[in-house]
């Protein structure tokens, strides 16, 4: 089963200094608008969405193998593809549940986020 991390878990890790490498695969413009502090942008979202893994494979050198990796996209769907590729390549990688939208909801304490996290707990 593919590894996933909830926004609350990621926030706890960031606060405790147990910081994973946060790989944000969204387009650069989205990243510049709103991003998790300390994250790294490797904009391969469009390619992965179309099923092309080569753009990410070409940039594996930018992703440290000795750290846990948390992959972020818009909603978490495309990040699953990136996470799967990274795990296949030997990385310890996880997808941020809900993507940037889930993270923003968590940061804002939104009702939508609270409902989603309830659903995640039930799974």
Q: Which listed CATH number (3.40.50.300, 3.90.79.10, 3.40.250.10, 3.30.310.10) goes with 4-122?
A: 3.40.250.10
Helices (H), the chain: 7-16, 28-33, 45-49, 54-57, 77-88, 99-108, 111-122
Q: Rounded to an integer, what distance in angstroms lies between the CA atom of residue 78 and that of residue 116?
A: 18
DSSP symbol at 24 = E
Per-residue pLDDT of the chain (123 residues; tens, 9 = 90+): 569 999 999 999 998 988 999 999 999 999 999 999 999 999 999 999 999 999 999 999 999 999 999 999 999 899 999 999 999 999 999 999 999 999 998 888 866 667 777 777 776
Q: What is the pLDDT of residue 114?
A: 72
Q: What is the pLDDT of residue 108?
A: 84
């Amino acid at each position: 089963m593919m590894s996933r991390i909830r926004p609350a878990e990621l926030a706890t890790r960031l606060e405790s200094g147990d910081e994973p490498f946060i790989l944000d695969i969204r387009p650069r413009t989205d990243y510049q608008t709103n991003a998790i502090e300390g994250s790294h942008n490797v904009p391969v979202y469009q390619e992965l969405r179309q099923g092309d893994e080569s753009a990410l494979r070409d940039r594996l050198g930018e992703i440290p193998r000795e750290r846990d990796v948390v992959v972020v996209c818009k909603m978490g769907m495309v990040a699953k593809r990136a996470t799967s590729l990274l795990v296949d390549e030997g990385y310890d990688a996880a997808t941020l549940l809900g993507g940037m939208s889930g993270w923003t909801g968590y940061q804002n304490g939104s009702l939508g986020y609270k409902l989603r996290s309830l659903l995640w707990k039930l799974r």
